[in-house]
Amino acid sequence: MATSESQPMEIDDSLYSRQRYVLGDNAMKKMAQSKVFVSGMDGLGVEIAKNIVLAGVKELVIHDTDSVTIDDIGTQFFLRESDLDRNRAEVTCPRLSELNPYVTVKVLGGDLDEEMSVLDTFTCVIFVNYLSLQSLECANKRCRKSDPQIRFISASTCGVFASVFNDFGDSFEVLDKNGEEFHEFFISGVTRCEKGVVTCLENELHNLESGDFVTFKEVQGMVELNSGEYKVDVLSPKEFTISDTSGFKDYTTGGICLPIKKPIHLSFKPLRPQLHNPNILMCDLGKLDAPPQIHLAYITMLHFVLKYKRKPQPHDEKDFQLMLQLTEGFVSKFEAGLLDKPDIDIIRDMSNTCTGTLQPLCATLGGIVAQEALIALTNKFTPIEQWMHLDAREVIPRDDIAAQEFDRKGDRYDPLRICIGDTLLQKLKGVNSFMVGCGAIGCEMIKNIALIGMSTKGRLTVTDNDLIEKSNLNRQFLFRDRHIQKPKSITAAQSAVEINPELRIEPQQNKVGPQTELSHYNDEFFLNQDIIINALDNVETRMYMDARCVTNQRPLLESGTMGAKGHVQVIIPFLTESYASQADPPEKDVPYCTLKSFPSTIEHCIQWARDKFESLFVQKPQMYSQFWNVNIDPSHLLAKMQQGQLPENCIPVIKMLGKKVTTFRECVEVARVKFERYFNHKARNLCHAFPDDHKLEDGSPFWASPKRKPEQIIFDPKDSTHIEFVIASAKLIAFRSSIQVTRQECELGAILPMIENTAVPVWKKSSKKIETDETKTKETSDVPSDKNIVEECTEYLARAVNIKVSPPIQKHELVMQANKFEKDDDSNAHIDFIASASNLRAKMYLIENADRLKIKRIAGRIVPAIATTTAAVSGLVALELIKLVKVCKLEDYKNCFMSLAVPTILFSEPGPVAKSEVCPGLFVSLWDKWEVRGSDTFTIKQFITDVTSRFKITPTMIVQGVKMIYVPLMPGHSKRLNQPINKFILKNESQNYVDLVVTFDGAEGEDVNGPPIRYIIS
């Protein structure tokens, strides 16, 4: 057995950080103890294997009896022309091993049909593109006889079709059916009746499904609810019923509901009975009848191979007729009502394309099947039961194309040519495309583009301003350890050219946005692109790119992932809606007073800690240094203050100067005092201001759910969270003040004496007002109204600048270092501070603590990610790329929403573009843009006349951005009519046009916006 074996080593958690948020610690541990077998290292097999290796199993064993051919070069991204005639598995093994140093990759040689017992040591077995039905059935039986039963998966791509079959045994336990993170929520009432009705607190939604289970805590009155589990029956988004509560006490107030996950058990059947009585996952809402027909075509093709020892030949009428004859014997064996007769078109497409390979379909199925393998290993998420069939028949050219279009030419593109024809292939090669982002989706997309030969005569421009980090390697598979801290775009381009030397790719490192709109990505640049591809991870840039594509009438392929979920959206000028047409609702802001004084959830505590970090270690140091950059001489500043002038931020900066530390001991003392003020004095101030019997204006109790009365925390040097807060705070304070700290100084033995010798201030009643109004926002003013504070700061500065009284202020004292938040470096104390501060605040308010991983994800706004979803989504995007080049009908394009945890893979037709009636008979959409040409002497009146004569509608108002060019109601604007329009517009020197917004009178006298008008100055 050939091997590429990794040496035992301590696993760097940053490699799996994003994936851990998807799967959880238990699943990660299970994978690290699992062995997976994959037989078949073609284009589909390598996609599956790549994703499994990136996920981090203990061992992957690959098998293949075939040698590398020219067809493989165009479909398997690890194979090169220098590998021709070598065994596919042996060539692939070391390259797979490079993806993850913690996974052992081995090659199993020989013929499996002769000895199936080799499968007995694996947790999951995957057969890829096996044409022998006998071999599949034999392997499936072997897996079922094993104890425990081995999870069996068969996956295949046949031209424009893809199929997967799962058999996870007679009893498969699903520990987490959907991967959704349950959030506890507050309730406002529970009825006493045969089926108790639970009502959520105002502005709360339960997000439960019927059949879920919940528990309760902190319920007052009906205290019986605080023990036991209850099954839910949903009535509405805010109400649900539980079991009989008629014998309980009356509900009075309070209560938190906690959803809980219950395992479910599934039973799978072997391959043989599932051939003719299949359980198929439905995917495409526009092809509800297709899955059973594809299933029929697939098993017909397997029987064709069984009978004739080969696949049907493309566009061979005789082979097609033989396929049709074979279907006649199968239709009657299917479950009644599943299908009445074969779909001749699907059978023909299977016959014509099954010898070809549509690589994007390999990428899609590779992601899906790898996720099924991870489910088999971990029992996390719901697997496919038991078949899934996909197709991309829309890419096949129709319209009586000659059969010669699909003939082989002996090059790397033959597998694709068989599926889409040579004319479409040549069009793909000539495409100019622009991709924004080179992260997880970007890497996968570049690989797909290279393999299908797109932009080998045109050009692919890729931009990304990020550098490669350790945490990227888990899913951005074009990168390796040696690439860390190198530019993503340049590195990815180099890797892509290794996959296909013909690819013409231009990597750039520019951020896309208004700042580069004129210098790099102006309208001319966009107009030179055939297709725009988003590979982004933030909504802001997505919205910007969407707007630029709409302005320049360019097609956009939008996609994204979040954990096991992914989406693909096709945006086509004049045909579909845009990304902004279905914008997500804005996130609900947490009231300032809640974060500051009345948190009720751990999320509130984490946000408070994150805000504290920004304030103490980023914003204040920046303010301090910027202030002294402007007010360089403290003596001059003192003179201004003595004259009653207070420059902005003067008082807080002088107070910071007075408290500036010079030793690490002082840093520890400041940190210990902060502990006291944050977690002891704060609670005492709140309880003093609002005692137990305090009432609201309506007479209701102040401390009522969701408000939680705090309890002061007494510092305990034996409590690890207390010590962690002090150490982390001290380190950050030291960094802020440029104090070097040794590892020995941070050890517990050195820290404890410093803490014990700190003079902790005694609590005094605070005179500060505690805000309770949820509509108020954070105070922004730093200018004090207290005259004594101003005099105190002036006096301190006077002493500090007087050489005779004290040492003069040194230049280094006028600088503080800002500490930009970095979540992935555990040595910098950033997450230590936020985790300890969050949990201490939670403890103070009697809120359940969170683990470090959850705190890191929320504080770092980390998007959970896993390579399987990324691969599946990128493959679907590549399929839509081919359709865009082909130019399809609206119904042929496919938007997709997937959740590989459920599993749900839903395809739907893109939303058609909405049109509005500007005036009777004149309809426009967001894609419309009118043009008007003028000169230096072109007047506003001429502009209005030109628009009226050309578009049969008269403008009533002309605006450029926020600048009003012509608004008749504005004083003096009527005099502008005969003046040149150039006098009032703002034009960039590098452009000979401006974009104007023009308003017209509607049918009922209302203002109606027409499409943007580009005014071109000749």
User: 């003040």: which residue's tokens?
Assistant: 737
Q: In this structure, are residues 23 and 866 in contact, taking their beta carbons and an 8 Å threshold?
A: yes
DSSP string covering 99-117, please? T-TTSEEEEE-S-GGG-GG
Distance CA 555, CA 104 (A): 43
Query: For the purposes of burial, counting CB atoms within 10 Å of the CB of 184, is it exposed (0-12), middle (13-18) or buried (19 or more)?
Result: middle
CB atoms under 10 Å from CB of 565, counted, come to 20
Report CA 512 to chain centroid distance, whole Å: 18
3-state helix, strand, coil in the chain (%, to 5): 40, 20, 40
- Interatomic CA distance for residues 222 and 251, integer angstroms: 4
- The Cα–Cα gap between 752 and 742 comes to 16
State the residue for tokens 């917004």: 997
Which residue has tokens 């005779």?
804
Given phi > 0 = left and psi -120 to 50 = alpha, else beta, which region is 887? left
Q: How far apart, in whole angstroms, are the C-alpha atoms of residue 379 and residue 739? A: 50
Tell whether omega for the bond before 148 is within 30 degrees of 0, i.e. cis: yes
Smallest CA-to-CA distance from 602 within 849, 834, 833, 835 is with 849
Q: Yes or no: say if 847 and 600 are a contact pair by the CB < 8 Å rule.
A: yes
Q: In 10 A of CB 667, how many CB atoms?
A: 26
Q: What is the DSSP string of 447-487?
A: HHHHHTTTTSSSEEEEE--PBP-GGGGGT-TT--GGGTTSB
Residues 439 and 472: beta-carbon distance below 8 Å:
yes
In whole angstroms, give the CA distance from residue 728 to residue 855: 15
Pairing mode of beta strands 124-128, 151-158:
parallel
Rg (CA), the chain: 34
DSSP helix/strand/coil, 566 = strand
What is the 8-class DSSP label of residue 253?
Answer: E
- Pairing mode of beta strands 172-174, 565-571: unpaired
**Catalytic option among 593, 687, 746, 919:** 593
* Helix, coil or strand: residue 916: strand
Q: At what angle do helices 720-736 and 748-756 cross, to 10 degrees?
A: 90
CA proximity to 859, closest of 881, 876, 839, 887: 839
The owner of tokens 């009365």 is 709
In the structure encoding, which two tokens stand for residue 564, read together? 């096991």
593 is catalytic: yes
SS3 call for 635: helix
Cα–Cα dist 550/528, whole Å: 15
Separation CA 507–CA 472 (nearest Å): 18
Which contiguous run of DSSP H or E holds residue 621? helix 620-630
Q: Which residues neighbour 740 within 8 Å (Cβ) at sequence distance 6 or greater?
A: 734
- Cβ atoms within 10 Å, residue 401: 15
How many whole angstroms separate alpha carbon 186 and alpha carbon 521?
Answer: 49
| CA proximity to 754, closest of 670, 835, 833 | 670
What type of residue sits at position 803?
A: I
675-709: burial string, b at 16+ Cβ within 10 Å, e else = bbebbbbbbbbbbebbeeeeeeeeeeebbebbbbb
Cα 642 to Cα 577: distance, rounded to the nearest angstrom: 63
Which residues form the catalytic set?
A: 593
